Amino acid sequence: MHIFYSRRRIDNMSCVAKTAIAISLGLFLSSAWAGGKFTPEQLKAQFYYDLGPSEIDVSGYPKDQQENYKVFKRTCSQCHTLARPVNNPLIQRADWDLYVSRMHVRTKVRPGTSISRKDARRVLNFLTYDSKMRKIDHKADFEAKTKELLKLFEEVKKERLRMQIEQDKKKIKESAPYTGTP
């Protein structure tokens, strides 16, 4: 389709054709603009905490917790990004215990993944310690980051909706013009 038309051709076009060209051009420009706004990983986020950082600086943590962090990274990254547990709002050991237990069960039915009871305990110890350090002791910082992630997630959801609408519009085929004959 040619984007540029002579003035005479535009004047002779039907209103429907002009509208179709305008919509196509608008969709093209908006998709080009939005295309670089979010990364593919951001667009795949299932939860707001998937959008946060996936690393923790544990250099100031005790050695045993640094070792637990290595186990956490190895085991938890088998099924999802590390951003999910790193930015998760859970802070209580009992809550993390339920979370880790659920992951332990899921790895049993998912080929190529595993979390031993020992590793699950080490992950639980790390998540509990880290929650105290980053989420309880530095509550204001963590809450501020959470607000940013929630806002970003709302923008991501709007973008996904816009992309879905655009994709649906592409699926709709224009019907043939009515010619008055059966």
Domain positions in the chain are 1-34, 43-152
- Look at residues 79, 140, 64 and name the one whose alpha carbon lies nearest to residue 99: 79
The alpha carbon of residue 156 and the mean position of all alpha carbons in its chain are separated, in whole angstroms, by 7
What is the distance between the alpha carbons of residues 70 and 63, in angstroms, rounded to a whole number?
A: 11
Q: How confident is the model at residue 177 (pLDDT cuts 50, 70, 90)?
A: low
What is the distance between the alpha carbons of residues 147 and 134, in angstroms, rounded to a whole number?
A: 15
- Look at residues 103, 128, 129 and name the one whose alpha carbon lies nearest to residue 117: 103
In degrees to the nearest 10, what's the CA dihedral of 44, 49, 51, 53? -140
pLDDT of residue 176: 57
Using the predicted structure, report yes or no on whether residue 10 has a pLDDT greater than 60: no
Q: How confident is the model at residue 24 (pLDDT cuts 50, 70, 90)?
A: very low
The alpha carbon of residue 31 and the mean position of all alpha carbons in its chain are separated, in whole angstroms, by 18
Q: Convert the pLDDT of each residue in 128-176 to its tens digit.
A: 999 999 999 999 999 999 999 999 999 999 999 999 998 888 777 655 5
pLDDT of residue 20: 45
Alpha helices in 47-92 (DSSP H): 63-76, 83-87
